[in-house]
Amino acid sequence: MTVYQPQTAPRPIVHTAAAPAQGVGVPAIPLPPEPQTIEQTGLTLGFLADLALKTLYLRGQMTMGEIASALGLAITGVTDRVMEFLKSERLVEIRGGAGISSASYQFVIVDRGSEKAQEALARSQYVGKAPVPLATYVSAVQRQTISNIHVTPEDLARAFAHMVIPRETLAQLGPAVNSGKSIFLFGPPGNGKTTIAEVLVSLLTGEVVLPYAVEVDQQVIKVFDQVYHRLVLEPAAAERIRYDHRWVISKR
């Protein structure tokens, strides 16, 4: 088996400010700050209005707080503006509330809103957390590069202790992993390529943030998959931390 490592020029890393996290069990990695305005989400009012309308259409009566949680957005400055827009367009109505806070306002969709929701679903069936723009996702990937992870010969020896693997192959794998670049394993079937790849992944420890979904030209691509991504915090625990809840904290 041969290990091939393509030589590629490093891409620039774009840094953004992280919101200060509070509470017990907060991950040590920087977390995306919570958008305080629609403009800071990187999405348009129309896009968010369609997403909120589809959510309300499928789930029925919801409070402002429930809608904000479903979209992963703040109430003040973001969700309240979206719902005020839908209300001004006579697509939704307020059916009371449990208190003076706007978070308790009960929203229901009206007939005209149902028609608009069906049109929005015909364009895109995605319903869930608001996506992040593609450029924001790319920047996050670049910030979370594995180039800062250093694997020692001892780490490799322990990880591959259950395998019979040539010493020269281990000597190739170490520098390849530490380069932070792509690795291409090739060779005849059955010589351990898949097992080696799985072991290498186990050496890349730590936590990352990734979005539930990405928006590209008004279309949504799902990123988070609960089958393959291992959450660091359950949703209920994550809700107690102030950050952009369009992202999840996952094991690398």
Query: Are both 111 and 235 inside the same structural domain?
Result: no
Residue 82 three-state SS: helix
29 within some domain = no
Query: Are both 241 and 220 inside the same structural domain?
Result: yes
155 within some domain = yes
Task: Tell me what pLDDT residue 98 has.
Answer: 67
Task: Tell me what pLDDT residue 11 has.
Answer: 34
CA distances from 233 to 207, 212, 228, 236, 250 (A): 11, 14, 15, 8, 8
Query: Are both 100 and 144 inside the same structural domain?
Result: no
Q: Tell whether the torsion through CA atoms of 79, 80, 85 and 88 is positive or negative.
A: positive
166 within some domain = yes
Domain final residue, candidates 103, 128, 153: 128
Task: Tell me what pLDDT residue 20 has.
Answer: 41
237 within some domain = yes
Task: Tell me what pLDDT residue 15 has.
Answer: 34
Q: Are 214 and 137 in contact (CB under 8 A)?
A: yes
119 within some domain = yes
- Residues in the chain predicted with pLDDT less than 50, given as ranges, are 4-24
Domain final residue, candidates 128, 160, 187: 128
What's the pLDDT tens digit per position in 117-145? 999 999 999 999 999 999 999 999 888 87
Domain that holds residue 103: 44-128
Query: Are both 96 and 162 inside the same structural domain?
Result: no
Query: Are both 228 and 186 inside the same structural domain?
Result: yes
Query: Are both 190 and 163 inside the same structural domain?
Result: yes
238 within some domain = yes
Residue 90 three-state SS: coil
Query: Are both 66 and 90 inside the same structural domain?
Result: yes
Task: Tell me what pLDDT residue 99 has.
Answer: 64
Task: Tell me what pLDDT residue 27 has.
Answer: 66
214 within some domain = yes
Q: Tell whether the torsion through CA atoms of 136, 137, 139 and 144 is positive or negative.
A: positive
Q: In whole angstroms, what is the distance from residue 176 CA to residue 199 CA?
A: 14
Query: Are both 166 and 76 inside the same structural domain?
Result: no
| Residue 185 φ then ψ, to 5° | -95, 125
Residues 6+ apart with CB under 8 A from 81: 38, 45
Enter the pTM of the model: 0.75
Number of domains, the chain: 2
Q: In whole angstroms, what is the distance from residue 218 CA to residue 225 CA?
A: 21
Task: Tell me what pLDDT residue 18 has.
Answer: 41
Looking at 124-206, which runs of residues are DSSP E strands? 132-133, 184-186
Q: Are 113 and 83 in contact (CB under 8 A)?
A: no
Residue 213 three-state SS: strand
Query: Are both 226 and 196 inside the same structural domain?
Result: yes
Domain final residue, candidates 128, 146, 178: 128
Query: Are both 113 and 149 inside the same structural domain?
Result: no
Query: Are both 194 and 243 inside the same structural domain?
Result: yes
Residue type at 234?
Answer: E
Query: Are both 67 and 115 inside the same structural domain?
Result: yes
7 within some domain = yes
**At 100, which CATH number?**
1.10.10.10
Residues 6+ apart with CB under 8 A from 66: none
Q: Within the chain, what is the greatest distance between any pair of CA atoms?
A: 71
